[in-house]
């Protein structure tokens, strides 16, 4: 095992600290991230561009922790957001709104207003109706808004269907064949300026081929739009580069960026800046979820290790049947048995891993690896469980960057009926 999480003797360490020492102070379940791994991954994307004009816009949805955003803002990162909440987090963490692109199929008027007011760089627009709404909103604010058309290139990304986004029948983006007509219609929209094209075809892609297919279509469209007088400034290839959960061998950031830059050059479009929106590939391998074995239990057909982290803490196994490596924080000598590692949540889908070979006893700590992306960010209070704390390790020190929540947070903003003011006030009619 290599990277920021590695064994020294029998114990799993993160950077220069034994995990068991952190857990003694914060308890389990908890997420633990490595600062150096996060920064190293971001820099690998950034430096891969050399002198070429570019921006790495971290996809906030992968992990919106203020501490993670703050680290990346400190490196000069841009951000890809999909909601007002994400933009507010970026601002709170010190991110520069002029480096923000706003994706997502369902932007509300309120979200548009907030983002325009904050002065974000660009809206990645996903439909004609959204374009018209954005024009009206910008006009009302007397603003001029930069727009990129998110096109759907109809490419099979060869990933889990729930994270495929660039196929014809997906809800994302504008069908690529319609883009020239919509771009032409934009010439009549006085408050919008078409500056770019973007696509995002899916997540956890482990080969370059689908990226190449999609990007080739975007480049062809860019040439077509230029020929009809549109002054494009950038292309945005989206995110999606995969990580290693088990035995995948995804391309390195340098290989990925080299290929995109080479394709730009082949088409004579090197004057366009390139934006990318990686999420998982920056934060995925930089985080783990640590959990305690509460009970070992056998039924005739199998053994269960019942742990104190569940699908509300890490949804990916239940949602996508995703595989995460599960390892002991302290290795024991002795024979291994086969366990289904399951959580305490009242669902049969509540598992972290099935059929795992482990030598464990009740009370042992387990680490669920590659949990930095879409782990904490997909967490919920289901079964009225508290969100786990988050720890950021930097060399031989750590900070609790999200404290273990108090039980009162479970019902914040709620009240029983009749308590204080009534919950629902009738809307006033007319006027
Ligand atoms: C528009 C957009 N950009 C970027 C990303 C980040 O993808 P990944 O984390 O796979 O890099 C996503 C993920 O869904 C997305 O929808």
Q: Is 103 in the pocket of ligand 1 (CB under 6 A)?
A: yes
Domain ranges of the chain: 5-32+285-411, 35-282
For the segment 76-108, what is each residue's pLDDT rounded down to a tens digit?
A: 999 999 999 999 999 999 999 999 999 999 999
How far apart, in whole angstroms, are the C-alpha atoms of residue 71 and residue 67? Answer: 6
- Report CA(201)–ligand 1 centroid distance (Å): 8
- Report CA(80)–ligand 1 centroid distance (Å): 8
Ligand 1 atom nearest residue 374's Cα = 9
Q: Is 62 in the pocket of ligand 1 (CB under 6 A)?
A: yes
How far apart, in whole angstroms, are the C-alpha atoms of residue 330 and residue 21? Answer: 11
What CATH architecture applies to the domain 5-32+285-411?
Beta Barrel (2.40)
Q: Is 80 in the pocket of ligand 1 (CB under 6 A)?
A: yes
Nearest to 281, CA basis, from 314, 259, 265, 257 = 257
* pLDDT for residue 428: 53
pLDDT tens by residue, the chain, 431 residues: 568 999 999 999 999 999 999 999 999 999 999 999 999 999 999 999 999 999 999 999 999 999 999 999 999 999 999 999 999 999 999 999 999 999 999 999 999 999 999 999 999 999 999 999 999 999 999 999 999 999 998 887 777 776 677 677 788 889 999 999 999 999 999 999 999 999 999 999 999 999 999 999 999 999 999 999 999 999 999 999 999 999 999 999 999 999 999 999 999 999 999 999 999 999 999 999 999 999 999 999 999 999 999 999 999 999 999 999 999 999 999 999 999 999 999 999 999 999 999 999 999 999 999 999 999 999 999 999 999 999 999 999 999 999 999 999 999 999 999 887 655 555 555 44
What CATH architecture applies to the domain 35-282?
Alpha-Beta Barrel (3.20)
* pLDDT for residue 426: 56
How far apart, in whole angstroms, are the C-alpha atoms of residue 122 and residue 144? Answer: 11
∠ at Cα 399 (398, 400), nearest 5°?
130
Half-sphere exposure (CA, 13 Å, Cβ side) for 237?
Answer: 28
Q: Which residues are catalytic?
A: 346
Q: Is 282 in the pocket of ligand 1 (CB under 6 A)?
A: no
Q: Is 239 in the pocket of ligand 1 (CB under 6 A)?
A: yes
Domains 5-32+285-411 and 35-282 share a fold: no
Please check whether residue 251 is in contact with residue 208, taking contact to mean a CB–CB distance below 8 angstroms. yes
**What's the pTM value of the predicted model, to 2 decimals?**
0.95
For the segment 398-419, what is each residue's pLDDT rounded down to a tens digit?
A: 999 999 999 999 999 999 998 8
How far apart, in whole angstroms, are the C-alpha atoms of residue 352 and residue 368? Answer: 8
Ligand 1 atom nearest residue 103's Cα = 1
Ligand 1: residue of 211, 238, 253 to mutate (most ligand atoms within 8 A of CB) is 238
Q: Is 157 in the pocket of ligand 1 (CB under 6 A)?
A: no
Ligand 1 atom nearest residue 82's Cα = 1
């Amino acid at each position: 095992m290599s990277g920021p999480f590695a064994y020294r003797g029998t114990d799993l360490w993160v950077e220069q600290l034994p995990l068991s020492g952190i857990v003694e102070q914060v308890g389990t379940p908890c997420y633990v991230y490595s600062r150096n791994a996060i920064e190293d991954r971001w820099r690998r994307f950034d430096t891969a561009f050399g002198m070429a004009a570019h921006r790495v816009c971290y996809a906030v949805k992968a992990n919106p922790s203020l501490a993670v955003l703050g680290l990346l803002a400190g490196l000069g990162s841009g951000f890809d957001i999909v909601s007002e909440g994400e933009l507010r987090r970026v601002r709170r963490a010190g991110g520069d709104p002029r480096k923000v692109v706003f994706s997502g199929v369902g932007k509300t008027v309120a979200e548009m207003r907030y983002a325009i007011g904050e002065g974000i760089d660009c809206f990645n627009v996903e439909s004609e109706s959204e374009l018209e709404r954005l024009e009206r909103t910008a006009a009302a604010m007397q603003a001029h808004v930069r727009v990129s058309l998110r096109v759907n290139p109809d490419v099979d990304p060869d990933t889990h269907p729930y994270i495929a986004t660039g196929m014809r029948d997906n809800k994302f983006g504008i069908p690529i064949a319609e883009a020239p007509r919509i771009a032409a219609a934009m010439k009549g929209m006085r408050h919008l300026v078409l500056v770019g094209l973007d696509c995002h075809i899916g997540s956890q892609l482990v080969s370059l081929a689908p990226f190449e297919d999609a990007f080739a279509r975007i480049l062809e469209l860019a040439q077509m739009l230029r020929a009809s007088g549109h002054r494009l400034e950038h292309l945005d290839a989206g995110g999606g580069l995969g990580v290693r959960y088990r035995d995948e061998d995804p391309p390195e950031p340098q290989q990925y960026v080299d290929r995109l830059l080479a394709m730009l050059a082949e088409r004579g479009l090197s004057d366009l800046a390139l934006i990318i929106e990686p999420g998982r590939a920056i934060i995925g391998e930089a985080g783990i979820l640590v959990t305690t074995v509460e009970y070992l239990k056998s039924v005739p057909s199998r053994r269960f290790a019942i742990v104190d982290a569940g699908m509300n803490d890490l949804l990916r196994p239940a949602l996508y049947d995703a595989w995460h490596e599960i390892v002991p924080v302290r290795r024991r000598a002795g024979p291994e048995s086969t366990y289904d590692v399951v959580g305490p949540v009242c669902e049969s889908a509540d598992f972290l891993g099935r059929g795992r070979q482990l030598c464990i006893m009740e009370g042992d700590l387990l680490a669920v690896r590659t949990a930095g992306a879409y782990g904490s960010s997909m967490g919920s209070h289901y079964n009225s469980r508290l969100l786990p704390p988050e720890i950021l390790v930097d060399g031989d020190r750590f900070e609790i960057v999200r404290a273990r929540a108090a039980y009162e947070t479970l019902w914040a903003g709620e009240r029983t009926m009749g308590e204080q003011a009534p919950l629902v006030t009738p809307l006033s009619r007319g006027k």
